[in-house]
A and B are shown apart, each in its own frame.
Chain A
């Protein structure tokens, strides 16, 4: 049995009548890092909440390690740790108390040595006796992670772990995630940033408007999606694109000051050198140039278009 989580035709319609998930089927493999990518409101949190038991599914089924999340909820939930998107903590508890509480809540006997290890790894040890309301946002997020790890879960859900997090915490967090994966923990994270998913994940699932559009090995998805955009900032504005450049798919922006060329990095011939050569032949000067990865939005647009 390779998959640790098996989601079958899962659907969720909220009481408002809004359909947040539509027939989502997905298998998470044991030990992988899976990134769920999607714009605001795509249904990422809804999906995670159902697997964790916070939201009730309207249709479909989920099994965790072979156990049904409804019938065998004790078995499934004790295997899962969740770091939710929202920062919600009890203001007056201490770090130590709240993390120990989580361990007990998840049915584990006290183990101060383990809690100490988790707090040290998350650089929270010095703060163990501080009340939560005195902590900064970044530290609170660490506390949420510590709570999720307190009962030694086999599966960790991280719902937008890097929202509002500075560079150093982000690095710490990714190091921790890699360590956890090395120790056999399966990790599912959500993000808006494709670079983040690309860096971390073994596989990526893209979700949009409640539908899982694509699930792919990261390398393959990136290859598919590896489109880049070259912007040339012209010295003199153009009124239209000269006929001599019509072999390239160009667009003219910013009142004729910017020429944009979208190309596929995987193509043997990207067309960039020849374009630049032709422009210099024509005497079209540019002040600067810039390339960027296609944005997540553009990827969604192209995926949705492909899908339909």
Chain B
């Protein structure tokens, strides 16, 4: 049998999906970018100006500035999940998935394209939120390399998580369930808007079981050099979650991807 001379990595295919997903965001640029900018501004009006003025500094950082990393993380979590889960769920819902399944593209390439696009979008969003925040409060970044690393890792991890949700969801309710009922509460309780050192010791212990605490903590350390749990612990936790998502994706593929009959 002759060898097939067509390549073993479908770069054109990955690029096509990536561009398709990015184009989808550009069509709804208002919804994708303007909304979070307005929401962030509102946070600063409410927390930063109204409440923040009555709050003391947290670990030597003004309250308004303190909440910036948490806000960025909250947006990163929800938008990564939303973009990636919707990206793969929608073709399943409309039936256009037939084309993806009949294309000479591997599962890995499909994930790369969808997760790559979703992560790109949420990173752009994260940067925009930081820029918006810097208009209201003095944002400093003490460890830029670590900040970028956490930004990338978190965006990729949660996009992967979103992709998994999109693959497994049978309807729009399920698609919304985890982001709304799990991620957002955990983020609010995970020290996005306060230092967990501010909590009574019992609640502090309880909070340490919330994985989001570790994700936010390292990111905040990159900004202000202060940390509740330590940056190494934070990094390990983030990588651990990434690994968990990779395992689930690999397992989903191994058992038929849940897209084919």
Interface residues of A (CB under 8 A from B): 14-15, 52-56, 66-67, 72-78, 80, 82, 84, 86, 88-90, 92-93, 97, 100-110, 147
A74-B8, A106-B104 given; 5 more Cβ-contact pairs under 8 Å: A54-B260, A56-B256, A86-B95, A104-B15, A105-B103
User: Are the C-beta atoms of B23 and A97 separated by less than 8 Å?
Assistant: yes
CA–CA, A100 to B96, complex, Å?
A: 15
Q: Are A74 and B15 in contact (CB under 8 A)?
A: no
Binding site for A on B (CB under 8 A): 1-2, 4, 6-8, 10, 12-13, 15-17, 19-20, 23-24, 27, 94-96, 98-106, 256, 260-261
Task: Give 20 A-B contacts (CB < 8 Å), ordered by A residue.
Answer: A52-B101, A53-B101, A54-B98, A54-B102, A55-B260, A55-B261, A56-B261, A67-B4, A78-B104, A82-B98, A101-B16, A101-B19, A103-B16, A105-B12, A106-B12, A106-B13, A107-B13, A107-B104, A107-B105, A108-B12
Alpha-carbon distance between A105 and B17 when the two chains are bound, in angstroms? 7
Contact between B101 and A74 (Cβ–Cβ < 8 Å)? no
Chain A residues near B23 (CB, 8 Å)? 93, 97
CA distance A92 to B7 in the complex (A): 31
The secondary-structure label for the interface of chain A is loop
Cα of A78 to Cα of B1 in the assembled complex, Å = 17
Contact between B4 and A75, CB atoms less than 8 A apart: yes
Q: Which residue of A56, A72, A110 is within 8 Å of B260 (Cβ)? A: A56
CA distance A15 to B261 in the complex (A): 7
Q: A84-B98, A101-B16 are in contact. Are A14 and B10 (CB under 8 A)?
A: no
Please judge, given known A-B contacts A54-B260, A77-B102, A88-B95, whether A72 and B4 are in contact too, CB under 8 Å.
yes
Contact of B10 among A52, A72, A74, A86 (CB under 8 A): A74
Q: Which residues of B contact A101 (CB under 8 A)?
A: 16, 19-20
Closest chain-B Cβ to A82's Cβ sits at a distance in Å of: 5
Contacts of B1 in A (CB 8 A): 66-67
Bound: A106/B103 CA distance, A: 5
B6 touches A75 (CB 8 A): yes
Note all chain A residues with C-beta closer than 8 A to B15: 104
B98 touches A78 (CB 8 A): no
Are A109 and B102 closer than 8 Å at their CB atoms?
no
What separation, in Å, do the CA atoms of A241 and B256 have in the docked complex?
63
Q: Which residue of A lies closest to B91 (CB)?
A: A90
Q: A72-B4, A107-B6 are in contact. Are A53 and B102 (CB under 8 A)?
A: yes
When the two chains form their complex, are residues B94 and A78 in contact, meaning their CB atoms are under 8 A apart? no
Is A74's CB under 8 angstroms from B104's CB? yes
A77: chain B residues at CB < 8 Å are: 102-104
A72 to B7, CA, bound (A): 12
- Please name all residues of chain A whose beta carbon is closer than 8 Å to the beta carbon of B12 when the two chains form the complex: 103-110
Q: A102 to B103, alpha carbons, bound, how many Å?
A: 9
Chain B, residue nearest A82 (CB): B102
**Among all A-B residue pairs, the 7 with the closest Cβ atoms:** A104-B16, A88-B95, A77-B104, A74-B104, A75-B4, A52-B102, A78-B104
Chain A nearest Cβ from B91, distance in angstroms: 8
Q: Chain A: which residue is nearest B106 at the CB level?
A: A74
User: Closest CB-CB distance, A285 to chain B, in whole Å?
Assistant: 57
